[in-house]
Amino acid sequence: MEKRVTFKGIWLPLLLVLPQLVITAVFFFYPAGQAVYQSLFIPDPFGLSMQWVGLGNFEYLLGNAYYRASFVTTAVFSVAVTVVSMGVALYLAVLADRLIKGSGVYRTLLIWPYAVAPAVAGVLWLFMFNTRVGVVTWYLGVLGYDWNHVLNGEEAMGLVVVASAWGRISYNFLFFLAGLQAIPRSVIEAAAIDGARFWTRFRTIVWPLLSPTTFFLLVVNIVYAFFETFGVIHTITGGGPQQATTILVYKVFSDGFVGQDLGSSAAQSVILLVIVGALTILQFKYIERRVHY
């Protein structure tokens, strides 16, 4: 796609792109290149020299039980976050869409949590489920359930999933509501006149027409769960207990900065890079399709 009308000049456009070019080169391409480069070496214990290991870091990672476990953890975590946040959001959007008046009020109230940082959401949920002072922990105790996410890996996972999904509901709600409101009323009313009940209408008309939105949200939410939930995990569990909540991004951080294992951390960055690349291509392919849709 190109403009028919353009201005003349070579130096002016080069000058205009210069700031972005410099910043991207220094803070993006150089570090990304460094990640690839470092992933092929192992630094000696004193950090004085680097030893070439080729794909050794990758082989080591893929054979490493902790790293493979982190893959599984990430998969469970992102699927759970995506399903919970999209499920709740769809439920609320379907209800809001049924209202003739007042859906705007609910929308205003529901978009709030979008503004809450994942790390802050983490602190809020940590507070409710804190083993010593948490309100929910206390009431669960009254009911005879002994909550302790510091020791119990499954409870820790449940907590980071809910805290991450919670902040994401607003976003999904907005897109679902917009998708629902774009469905022509006449189609739904025609089905209603034919005697289709709400659930039948939803299953046979609304859900298929909503599928582009759903698919889009699926990809976006998985990307969110992969990368933007670091704050939730760092504040609530710190990846524990016993790495039960160590997702891939968290492991890049903990191996690189806490463990100082630069070669391995860089190799992990490269693997993540491939994953994001694949997800982005998927997203763009899909959007391409939506244009023709």
Partner 1 sequence: MAGMVEKRGAGYWMTHLGLIIGLLFIFFPIWLAFVASTVSQPEIVKPPMPLLPGDQFFENYRKALFSGINAPVALMMLNSLVMALGIAFGKIVISLLSAFAIVYFKFPGRRLFFWLIFLTLMLPVEVRIVPTYQVVANFGMLNSYSGLILPLIASATATFLFRQFFMTVPDELAEAARVDGARPMRFFWDILLPMSRTNIAALFVILFIYGWNQYLWPLLITTDPSMNTIVMGIKQMFPSGDDIADWPVIMATSILAMIPPVIVVISMQKLFIRGLVDSEK
Interface with partner 1 by CB under 8 A: which range of 41-49, 79-87, 167-175, 202-210? 167-175
Q: Judged by CB under 8 A, does residue 287 bind partner 1?
A: yes
| 243 within 8 A of 69, measured Cβ to Cβ | yes
User: Position of tokens 């929910």?
Assistant: 136
Interactions with partner 1, residue window 81-140 (CB under 8 A): 88, 91-92, 95-100, 102, 106, 108-121, 123-125, 127-128, 132-135, 137-139
Instruction: Please work out the total of residues on this chain that contact partner 1, with binding judged by CB under 8 A.
Output: 100
Q: Of 66 and 198, which CB lies nearer to partner 1 in the complex structure?
A: 198
Residue 145 C-beta: closest distance to partner 1, Å: 15
Burial class (CB within 10 angstroms; exposed 0-12, middle 13-18, buried 19+) of 15: exposed
**Shortest separation between residue 258's beta carbon and partner 1, angstroms:** 11
- Binding-site member from 12, 65, 72, 143 for partner 1 (CB under 8 A): 12
276, 223 contact by CB (below 8 A) = yes
CB of 5 to partner 1, least distance (A): 4
Write each residue from 44 to 83 as x if it is in contact with partner 1 (CB under 8 A), else as -, in one continuous string.
Answer: ----------------------------------------
Are 33 and 266 in contact by the 8 Å Cβ rule? The answer is no
Query: Does position 174 bind partner 1 by CB under 8 A?
Result: yes
* Closer residue to partner 1, CB minimum distance, 24 or 242: 24
CA–CA separation, 58 vs 54, rounded Å?
9
Termini Cα distance of the chain:
20
Residues 235-274 that bind partner 1 (CB under 8 A): 235, 249, 252-253, 256-257, 262, 265-266, 269, 272-273
Q: 187, 208, 276, 285: which one contacts partner 1 (CB under 8 A)?
A: 276
User: Cα 128–71–124 angle (5° rounding)?
Assistant: 15
Cα–Cα distance for residue pair 161/82, rounded to 1 Å: 9
State the Cα–Cα distance between residues 51 and 62, nearest whole angstrom: 20
| Footprint of partner 1 on 187-226 (CB under 8 A) | 188-189, 192, 198, 216, 220
Determine the length of the chain: 293
Q: Cβ contacts of residue 62 below 8 Å, gap of 6+?
A: 68
